Structure formats: structure tokens, C-alpha cells
Amino acid sequence: MRIVIVGGVAAGMSAATRAKRQNPDAEVVVYERGGYISYGACGLPYVIGGEVENFEQLIARTPERMRGEGIHVRLGHDVTGVDSKAQTITVCENGGATRTEPYDRLLIATGVSPIRPDWARTDAAGVHVLRDIPDGQAIEASLKGAKRGIIVGGGYIGLELAEALHSRGLSVVLLERSPSVAGRILDPEYQQRVQGELEANDIDVRCGVTVEALTAKNGRVTGVQTDQGLLRGDVVMVAVGVRPNVGLAKSAGVKLGKTGAIRVDKHQQTNVPHIYAAGDNTESIQRVTRRHVHVPLGLTANRMGRVAGVNMAGGEAQFPGIVGSGIFKVFNLGVARTGLTQNEADALGLSAVSVDVTSTDHAGYYPDAAPIHVRLTSERGTGRLLGAQILGHPSSVKRIDVIAALLHSRGKVHDLAEVDLSYAPPFSSVWDVLLVAAGKASQAARLPKDDTSA
Ligand code: FAD
């Protein structure tokens, strides 16, 4: 049994280790076109910001260690084609000769690529995207002597980069085309709070601004031309979204879903026999809506990889789907969400109602109590939980996971109201803000649509 894996980060390496554990006799080979495997891309902004000392600390496993576990890793190997009938792949080694290699099972774990808009001068020095360790190293080198940074894009990577450049002493302008930052993550009221936190920390946030081109002198970026004028900057970070890397899958006849990512079944198997897909390039089922979605995040990639690894090696495992949880921090504000926002529920035509509760994250009399804002969204009439958003001190917003667990099992606000949550003054109030929100949501879910008294 020869198991071939394309891509050596979260999904690929999880699959490799699981496959080997499932079937120690299988030959497991990982082809990675870059120079690193098995690292936490999620930590890149924190190396740039200086909280984590260096990029090497993000690496969980090296090729040598994998060899010790009986897994062969081929760095600098770009897989350029798949012949699904012959069950072979074409591999190009370090830009040189190509060769074909056989497989019995193939995993496509090729991730996503940052979108690089078609602006003039994106090739200038000082213009960056952030996806992998070499991108991080290039940003690090660019920051030497830089005084002013421009971030294009107000999604979570743009926001984390804004904080990172600020920590490095740069003055930072953040440009966002839509009316607010975190637009695809939170409802508008909560987006405003995130923007407020950025502004309170001297980030110059400009929303409703469209970038038209970059400007450069002697091959080095000098600024950004927008529909509202020219902005000067020494470094420009482009964080305007990602696209799944599906070229290889398409060439093998693998079907994509409507999201543009790879469609798989519960076993991570594609429509082509013996070909699996996992990670950021692959769709998931959103358990709240039972729809296919493309949400490229770390735990999903690792879990999909495990499932694919077990199945490719002859075992049985199923991917349970996701509920759409995400968390990040901007300066002193933790931001967490799970399920659907009110806006997302409305767009899907669901009859949803949201309640908001603001409280303190622990007993008000205990030192350092900080505000916490919870929005709970549920289905009108049934009280089924649809989602939640939480903003507060970074140490307090992980309580979103209580809601994620209930969403996973299609729980109701009534279930949340009855959960025996832990309590002591340094951690929460006796009636935690989640329980207060659940009580309020139970009432709101019972009210007719035009009654806003909740
Ligand atoms: P990738 O990590 O993209 O790996 C795919 C690999 O495939 C790449 O190394 C690529 O070189 C290789 N490859 C592609 N095509 C080929 C080919 N043809 N031949 C050979 N090799 C190929 N997620 C969270 O959940 N929380 C966070 O806080 C978070 N923060 C993030 C911050 C940043 C800056 C970034 C960039 C990502 C963050 N993520 C976060 C997302 C998380 O890192 C990804 O979900 C995860 O890395 C996906 O793993 P993957 O294996 O699917 O894909």
C-alpha cells in the first residue's frame, strides 16, 4: 500500500501520521513544494509582532523526525499532475526534472493561496502577503527601517498584522473596502467595537476605501493609490482573502463544490476513486445549516487530515462537520464567534432573533473585572441555538466553546440556560453572562417577529 500525500502542513502531516499509525506496513510519502512541513501558520503574526521569538518555534515536526516515524518527506517537490486511471502523479523536483510516481491512495492537501489583486506594482519590494514561513521571513526583513505600514484588508489576518506592525513601532493604516472591519466575521454592532479597539490603539482605520494601485520608486513600494487619494507607506500587507488550491484536483477530474473548494464525502473521499482531499482546499458541512461551506481553519484542517489518513490506510473514520467557530484577538479585545451571525441567518432566510448582554467577565468586586459582550442568536419559535458572538478581554472569550458544543448537538437556548457552568469570583459571576443571555434568548425566541421587547 503506497499512500501519497501532496502538501505537508496541517492536513497533510496529520494524515501522514494517522495513516502510518493505522497501517504501519503502508509506505507513506509526503510531497511538499516548499521548504517546511508541519508548522503553525497561525503563529506567524506573533513572530512578526515579537511575542514569539522566531519562526523555528512554529515548527512542530521536522522531516528527520518524520523519517524516524517511517514517513518519507520530500521537500521542494511540486506535484504538477495526476493520472487517476494509471494512479500516478507527476512530480517536479526543485524546478528541475519531472518524474512519475505511483500511488494506491492519494491525498490532496494543498491548502489555499492568498489572493493577489491585479494592482500595478504588487511586485515591488515591501509588498507582502502572509501565508507561510518564507512570507513571514520576507516581512521580517522588510520591517527593518520601515516607519509606516499599510494593511489592505480588515479580516482576521489583516487585523492581526495591524497589531503586529504596531508592536514593532510602525504607524499603521488599515484600509478596508467594505463599511467596517471584520465584516464577514461579526454583526455590525460588534464590528464597530473591534474598530473602536483598533482606533484606541492608534491604528488609522479607513473603511469604504478601495485600493486602485500601489506606487513604487526604484523597485520599492512607496504607497497605495486609493479611490480617495494617495497614502504613503514603506511596507504594504495585502490580506484580502484566500483561494483554495484546486488546480491539481481539477486536473485529476475531482469535483469542486459551489464554494470553489473540493467536495468530499464524510470519509474525505472525492468523486475520483482512491483520491482524498483535506484541509483548507476542501469544503465542510456546516452542522447548523447542513450546507456545504468553505471555512479554512486550523482545527478543521488537522481533523480532516486525521480522518483521511485513517481511511486511506484501511480504517474507518468520519469527519463530523463544523459549526463555524473562530477566535482571535486585537490588542486587549478577544473576539470569538460560532455558528451564524444574525446577518448570516437573515441571508439564509432563517427566522432568527438575537439578544445582547453586556456584563463583567467575572465578579465585579474581584480585581480586573472587564466588560464582556455576548450576542446569542436563536431560531424564533423553536429556540434552537444558531450562533453566538463574544467580545471581551482575551482571557474571557473562550467561553464561546460552550455554545459551540451545544451547536454541535443542535441544542436549544433552553439547554444552555440549564447547563451547570463552573463558578468562582475570579472567573465569572454566579450567573455567568452566557446563562443571562440564554434566559433572555428563551423569552425572545417565544415572541412574534415584530415584537422587539426582548
Ligand atoms: P496549508 O497550511 O496551506 O498547507 C498546504 C501545503 O501544500 C503548503 O505548504 C503548500 O506549499 C503545499 N502545496 C500546495 N500545492 C502543492 C503541490 N502541487 N505540490 C506540493 N506541495 C503543494 N487558523 C485557525 O484556526 N486559527 C488561527 O488563529 C489561524 N491563524 C492564521 C494566521 C495566518 C497568518 C495564516 C496564514 C493562517 C491562519 N490560520 C488560522 C489558518 C491555518 O493556518 C490553516 O487552516 C492551516 O494551515 C491549513 O492547513 P492545510 O494543510 O490545509 O494547508
- Return the CA Rg of the chain: 23
Ligand 1 within 6 A of CB of 110: yes
SS3 call for 211: strand
Ligand 1 within 6 A of CB of 75: no
Query: Whose C-alpha lies nearest to ligand 1, atom 16?
Result: 110
The CATH number that domain 2-113+243-312 falls under is 3.50.50.60
Mutate to test the pocket of ligand 1, among 297, 306, 323, 338 (most ligand atoms within 8 A of CB): 297
In the reported structure, the alpha carbon of residue 38 is separated from the centroid of ligand 1 by a whole-number distance in angstroms of 10
Average pLDDT over residues 152-164: 98
All three cell numbers of 198, joined, read 483598533
In the reported structure, the alpha carbon of residue 425 is separated from the centroid of ligand 1 by a whole-number distance in angstroms of 40
Instruction: Give me the phi and psi of 145, to 5 degrees please.
Output: 85, -10
454 — pLDDT class (breaks 50, 70, 90): very low
Rounded CA separation 78/75 (Å): 9
Rounded CA separation 282/259 (Å): 9
Mutate to test the pocket of ligand 1, among 42, 89, 129, 135 (most ligand atoms within 8 A of CB): 42
Q: Sign of the C-alpha dihedral, residues 109, 114, 115, 118?
A: negative
From 53, 50, 52, 57, select the one nearest 167 (Cα to Cα).
50
From 374, 400, 384, 298, select the one nearest 345 (Cα to Cα).
384
Query: Are 13 and 29 spatial neighbours (Cβ–Cβ below 8 Å)?
Result: no
446 — pLDDT class (breaks 50, 70, 90): confident
CB atoms within 10 A of CB 437: 27
Query: Whose C-alpha lies nearest to ligand 1, atom 31?
Result: 42
Ligand 1 within 6 A of CB of 245: yes
Q: What is the pLDDT of residue 445?
A: 82
Topology match between the domains 2-113+243-312 and 326-445: yes
Q: What is the pLDDT of residue 450?
A: 60
pLDDT digits (tens, 9 = 90+) for 387-436: 999 999 999 999 999 999 999 999 999 999 999 999 999 999 999 999 99
Rounded CA separation 271/276 (Å): 9
Ligand 1 within 6 A of CB of 392: no
> With 60 as the cut, is the pLDDT of residue 149 above it?
yes
Ligand 1 within 6 A of CB of 262: no
Ligand 1 within 6 A of CB of 10: yes
Ligand 1 atom closest to Cα of residue 12: 51
Domain residue spans of the chain: 2-113+243-312, 118-240, 326-445
Q: What is the pLDDT of residue 58?
A: 98
Pairing outcome for strands 2-6 and 235-238? unpaired
Rounded CA separation 69/374 (Å): 45
* Domain at 118-240, CATH homologous superfamily: FAD/NAD(P)-binding domain (3.50.50.60)
pLDDT digits (tens, 9 = 90+) for 21-38: 999 999 999 999 999 999
From 380, 381, 379, 361, select the one nearest 371 (Cα to Cα).
361
From 114, 81, 107, select the one nearest 18 (Cα to Cα).
107
Ligand 1 within 6 A of CB of 73: no
Phi-psi region of 449 (alpha: psi -120 to 50; beta: other; left: phi over 0): alpha
pLDDT digits (tens, 9 = 90+) for 191-218: 999 999 999 999 999 999 999 999 999 9
> With 80 as the cut, is the pLDDT of residue 119 above it?
yes
> With 60 as the cut, is the pLDDT of residue 452 above it?
no
Q: What is the pLDDT of residue 449?
A: 67
> With 90 as the cut, is the pLDDT of residue 250 above it?
yes
Q: What is the pLDDT of residue 439?
A: 97
The CATH number that domain 326-445 falls under is 3.50.50.60
Residues classed as catalytic:
42
| pTM score, whole prediction | 0.96
All three cell numbers of 435, joined, read 446563562
